[in-house]
Amino acid sequence: MADVDTGSLDKPNAPPAGLPVLLEEARRELRDDIVLGHGGRTALARFAERFDGLLRHILDAAPRTEPVAPVSIVAIGGYGRKQLCLHSDIDLLILFGGHLGKPEERLLRAILHPLWDLGLVVGHQVREIDEFARLEVDNPEFLMALVDARPVAGDLGLYRRFETAFHHAGTHAHVVGALNTLIDERYALFNSTLYQLEPNVKDAPGTLRDLTAIRWIAALTDPTLLRRGPEDLARLDEAEDFLLRIRSILHLETKRNANQLSHPLQEKTADILGYPGAFPQQRVERLMSDYFRHARIVTRALSWIRKTAPTPVAPNLGQTPDGIVFVDARQAAVQPATWLAAFQAAIDARCDVSDAALALIRQHAERFRVEDFFPTHAHQAALLRFLRPGAGLYARLSEMHDCGVLGRMFPPFQAITCRVVRDFFHKYTVDEHTLLTIKNLERLATRAAPDRERFSSLLQDLEAPELLVLALLFHDVGKWRDEDHATESVRMAQDMFDRLGLTVEQRANVEFLIKNHLAMSQVAFRRDTEDPEIVRTFASLVGVEERLRMLCLMTLADVEAVSLETLTPWRAELLWRLFVDTYNHLTLGYGDELIEPNLAANTELLANRPEDLSESDISHFLAGLPRRYLQLFDREAIYRHVRLARNINPDEVHLGLEEKGAGWELTVVTLDKPFLFSNISGVLSSFGMDILRGHAMTNPNGLVLDVFQFTDQERFLALNANARAQMFQVLDEVVSGRASVTARLRGREESLFHRRALRVKPVVHCDNQASRRYTILDIIADDALGLLYRISRVISQNGCEIDLVLIATEGHRAIDVFHITKAGAKLSEADSLELSAHLQRMLEGTNEAH
């Protein structure tokens, strides 16, 4: 909420000439209507419009001698509804299109002071437009008043921006929820009965607030409710006019904002409204009889609409006891791109899609083609979000399939609808088998059986589980043909990958999974997995850990979906063992497999090289790096690395920094030296960066390539124009030895090295068997800022060289694998024990962020 000073005047403003006259004219006009018993909807709307003119007059007259942000004066609450009574507060939103500085404050004063000088009670809210990006959940009355917002003066474009920001399903749902709470609280004040002898015509059950609530609920959920309710809309209008006429009389008679129809005022009101009767009591009884009749109509209508209104969950979507419904069915019928949102809403709300919504989709699905479902990037992103494995995904996909929309969204899926493939094992049609694979994955994500928890943990570790679901959805579409269905599935899925706008990396992963979806079961169940060569070959097929995890889960889900009996504990065990052996090969054994000079002459890399890179630049850079490097990075990344590595001299550091996803990726190329890795990771920590993933590699010439992916929680890089240059300068100074990282970190020690309870018991495992060339340190610990710096510093302090590092973070666990040597050889047993002990002590003794 904008914090502004409206209390003092630079120069007292007198009301612009003529304002008191305009106001008095408007009031006189209204008073004349009221005494005739006509102070209802029409008269109050006219009075409100008079006020609109007054405000436009004030804004036009405001001095504009300096540049000022766009402003819009918006009527809200009762004034917004044009139900402004004689002594009602004037509820206003004064909206600015930019930052509220001194010029804007001066303009604000020029608007408000004339109103105050006129003796009006102004309920004003001042906001910058950007403040509507966040919902003011702690101010429900204000949010409700905004439902009646109406532009009065100023910038109409700015008002439209406000409307766009305010009116979305999340806000609507919140307002309806808050409104229901306030209704209950208000009713409690009146003992929940409309039969009050001296009713408050604004607040009591069955009066004006209830009518407003009815209109709000309809506006925020389903406007057709007003037509469908138990009471005719005309009767509600009549009740409203009746109550407003009474309220106007109360204001006139009491000369203030009073709303209670007391006994004395009942007589006066009955007289003004012209109720017949020889005695006052007769007239009052007739008045009150009408009052209770109207109040009953209003309470019935409110009760019905509260029970019936769907809870807004997305544009044109609401939740009812029947499930997710389309609010406007005609609109939904012609907007297939919104259908997926109905299924997403059901997943989010953990309910069904209503039969009515499914029937609508079933009726219209045939009319649309695939491009109608994913017209924009936002729709493509929504699909990937929808495919994240979680509770309800299988049920929703099955509903989509049942009502014919799955095959329209994903045409290749139509080829396997009810497809029967006869073999000894499969128990279901190909389409149902496919959906069951996703059900199996969903079960791992939500309620894994104890013997599946290890696979469930793999699913939790996946960076993009939705890609796995996408791969499962397409893995068997090629089964419409009888031979080599995996290759056919990849071919058929190409068009969908284009439409979904997958990145090169995403597409490569999904294609890999579909093409090789049988590979892991063939190796696990039919090959001798105790043979290291079998594991090595399989590891070289999958390449990196993320693909291994995905393929393992895909295999598990696929085998389990063949029949209830197919995935025996015996098979699950074989699969798990192959996973572990391959994982260990990928993470522990990769240091022994280097890019040899002939492999460095990778023809594809050389053939596609940019003009500024020579063949020898590329070959020289690659030779001696682990082969894994070629699987970790795509061609463009490799070329960037080659450029960074050219012409590098001792003590120089060449750097690249780019945004990647929600974080950043720093590439460091330099020549090896003691404490290098800990210095670099220490510099990142000194800037508050949390390192999540990364690789460090060294070639035989001492060239070091480190790639760190990190998050910038303090938004140092985003908020400071020269942040990148500053970070590069510090890295340069620290790596070249001109500055000390310890000194830099000292300033952060207070905030970084805080103690906290251990969430993960640290594990340090030192292995001399897994690699021919390296001792391997496997470290699992609580993720914390600076952890990598402290671990690597201990390793260097023990006289060891860090040659290769794999950095991973899964949940709150840091999983780091270091390939180290001491004096060019593996560590002796004594050295291993000593280093492990030092690391264990560091991690357990303090387990501070570092």
Partner 1 sequence: MKLIKSIVRPNKVDEVKDALEKLGIAGMTVTEVRGHGKQKGHTAIYRGKEYNVSLLPKMQIEVVVADSVVDDAIKAIVSAARTGEIGDGRVFVLPVEQTYRIRTGERDSL
**Which one of 287, 697, 764, 804 is in contact with partner 1 (CB under 8 A)?**
764
462 CA to centre of own chain? 18
Least Å distance, CB 409 to partner 1, is 39
CB of 573 or CB of 612, closer to partner 1: 573
Rounded distance between C-alpha atoms, residue 684 and residue 720, angstroms: 16
Q: Which of 290, 101, 118 is nearest to 206 (CA)?
A: 290
Dump the DSSP string for 772-839. SS-EEEEEEEE--TTHHHHHHHHHHHTT-EEEEEEEEEETTEEEEEEEEEBTTBPPPHHHHHHHHHHH
Q: In this structure, are residues 431 and 519 in contact, taking their beta carbons and an 8 Å threshold?
A: no
CB of 31 or CB of 577, closer to partner 1: 577
Amino acid at 643: R
**Which one of 95, 496, 574, 794 is in contact with partner 1 (CB under 8 A)?**
574
Least Å distance, CB 517 to partner 1, is 20
CB of 127 or CB of 585, closer to partner 1: 585
Q: How many residues bind partner 1 (CB under 8 A)?
A: 24
| Pattern 525-544, partner 1, x by CB under 8 A | xxxxxx--------------
Least Å distance, CB 585 to partner 1, is 12
Helix axes 41-61, 19-35, angle to 10 degrees: 180
Long-range CB contacts (< 8 A, 24+ apart) of 475-484? Answer: 475/434, 475/437, 475/513, 475/514, 475/517, 475/554, 475/558, 476/416, 476/430, 476/433, 476/434, 477/412, 477/413, 477/415, 477/416, 477/434, 479/416, 479/419, 479/421, 479/430, 480/415, 480/416, 480/419, 482/421
Least Å distance, CB 545 to partner 1, is 11
Query: Of 69-77, 231-239, 413-421, 773-781, which part binds partner 1 (CB under 8 A)?
Result: 773-781
Q: In this structure, are residues 711 and 663 in contact, taking their beta carbons and an 8 Å threshold?
A: yes
CB of 584 or CB of 821, closer to partner 1: 584
Q: Which helix (H) or strand (E) holds 285?
A: helix 280-308
Using the CB atoms, write b or e for 606-636: b if 16+ within 10 Å: eeebeeebeeebbbbbbbbbbbbbbebbeee
Least Å distance, CB 547 to partner 1, is 17
The angle at the Cα of 416, spanning 479 to 469, to the nearest 5 degrees, equals 85
**Which one of 35, 580, 718, 837 is in contact with partner 1 (CB under 8 A)?**
580
Least Å distance, CB 569 to partner 1, is 8
Q: Please report whether residue 444 would count as binding partner 1 according to CB under 8 A.
A: no
Q: Please report whether residue 584 would count as binding partner 1 according to CB under 8 A.
A: yes
Rounded distance between C-alpha atoms, residue 614 and residue 607, angstroms: 10
Q: In this structure, are residues 592 and 668 in contact, taking their beta carbons and an 8 Å threshold?
A: no
Strands 122-128 and 90-96: parallel
Least Å distance, CB 836 to partner 1, is 11
Q: Which of residues 392-421 bind partner 1 (CB under 8 A)?
A: none
Strands 323-326 and 703-712: unpaired
Query: Of 366-374, 566-574, 672-680, 818-826, which part binds partner 1 (CB under 8 A)?
Result: 566-574
Rounded distance between C-alpha atoms, residue 702 and residue 802, angstroms: 11
Sheet with 71-75, edge to edge strand ranges:
122-128, 90-96, 71-75, 150-154
**Which one of 237, 355, 495, 573 is in contact with partner 1 (CB under 8 A)?**
573
**Which one of 36, 763, 825, 837 is in contact with partner 1 (CB under 8 A)?**
763
Residue 810 pairs in a beta bridge with: 813
Least Å distance, CB 777 to partner 1, is 9
SS3 309: coil
Q: Please report whether residue 570 would count as binding partner 1 according to CB under 8 A.
A: yes
Q: Rounded to whole angstroms, what are the CA distances from 191 to 195, 205, 213?
A: 10, 9, 19
CB of 7 or CB of 569, closer to partner 1: 569
Q: Which of 665, 663, 672 is nearest to 707 (CA)?
A: 665
Query: Of 232-240, 385-393, 415-423, 573-581, which part binds partner 1 (CB under 8 A)?
Result: 573-581
Q: Rounded to whole angstroms, what are the CA distances from 79 to 93, 152, 416, 741?
A: 11, 10, 60, 63
Rounded distance between C-alpha atoms, residue 261 and residue 670, angstroms: 85
CB of 754 or CB of 765, closer to partner 1: 765
433 CA to centre of own chain? 32
Least Å distance, CB 408 to partner 1, is 42
Rounded distance between C-alpha atoms, residue 538 and residue 578, angstroms: 9
Integer-rounded Cα radius of gyration of the chain: 36
Least Å distance, CB 311 to partner 1, is 44
Residues in the chain: 850
DSSP class of residue 663? E
Query: Of 136-144, 443-451, 764-772, 821-829, which part binds partner 1 (CB under 8 A)?
Result: 764-772
Least Å distance, CB 570 to partner 1, is 4
Least Å distance, CB 523 to partner 1, is 9
| Pattern 692-721, partner 1, x by CB under 8 A | ------------------------------
CB of 571 or CB of 646, closer to partner 1: 571
**Which one of 779, 795, 827, 835 is in contact with partner 1 (CB under 8 A)?**
779
CB of 493 or CB of 523, closer to partner 1: 523
CB of 256 or CB of 765, closer to partner 1: 765
Strands 323-326 and 653-660: unpaired
CB of 653 or CB of 780, closer to partner 1: 780
Strands 813-821 and 323-326: unpaired
Least Å distance, CB 778 to partner 1, is 4
CB of 194 or CB of 764, closer to partner 1: 764
**Which one of 568, 608, 614, 740 is in contact with partner 1 (CB under 8 A)?**
568
Least Å distance, CB 581 to partner 1, is 8
**Which one of 99, 367, 369, 765 is in contact with partner 1 (CB under 8 A)?**
765
| Pattern 172-211, partner 1, x by CB under 8 A | ----------------------------------------
Least Å distance, CB 394 to partner 1, is 28
Q: Please report whether residue 424 would count as binding partner 1 according to CB under 8 A.
A: no
Rounded distance between C-alpha atoms, residue 513 and residue 696, angstroms: 27
CB of 285 or CB of 461, closer to partner 1: 461
**Which one of 815, 820, 827, 835 is in contact with partner 1 (CB under 8 A)?**
815
CB of 525 or CB of 753, closer to partner 1: 525
Rounded distance between C-alpha atoms, residue 46 and residue 473, angstroms: 61
**Which one of 669, 780, 791, 820 is in contact with partner 1 (CB under 8 A)?**
780
**Which one of 27, 31, 388, 577 is in contact with partner 1 (CB under 8 A)?**
577
Least Å distance, CB 763 to partner 1, is 4
Q: Rounded to whole angstroms, what are the CA distances from 721 to 9, 403, 664, 718, 744?
A: 38, 53, 16, 8, 21
Within a 10 A sphere around the Cβ of 646, how many other Cβ atoms? 14
Least Å distance, CB 809 to partner 1, is 13
Strands 775-782 and 703-712: unpaired
Query: Of 116-124, 179-187, 401-409, 579-587, which part binds partner 1 (CB under 8 A)?
Result: 579-587
**Which one of 57, 419, 491, 571 is in contact with partner 1 (CB under 8 A)?**
571
Q: Please report whether residue 583 would count as binding partner 1 according to CB under 8 A.
A: yes
Name the residues that contact partner 1, by CB under 8 A. Answer: 525-530, 568, 570-571, 573-574, 577, 580-581, 583-584, 763-765, 767, 778-780, 815
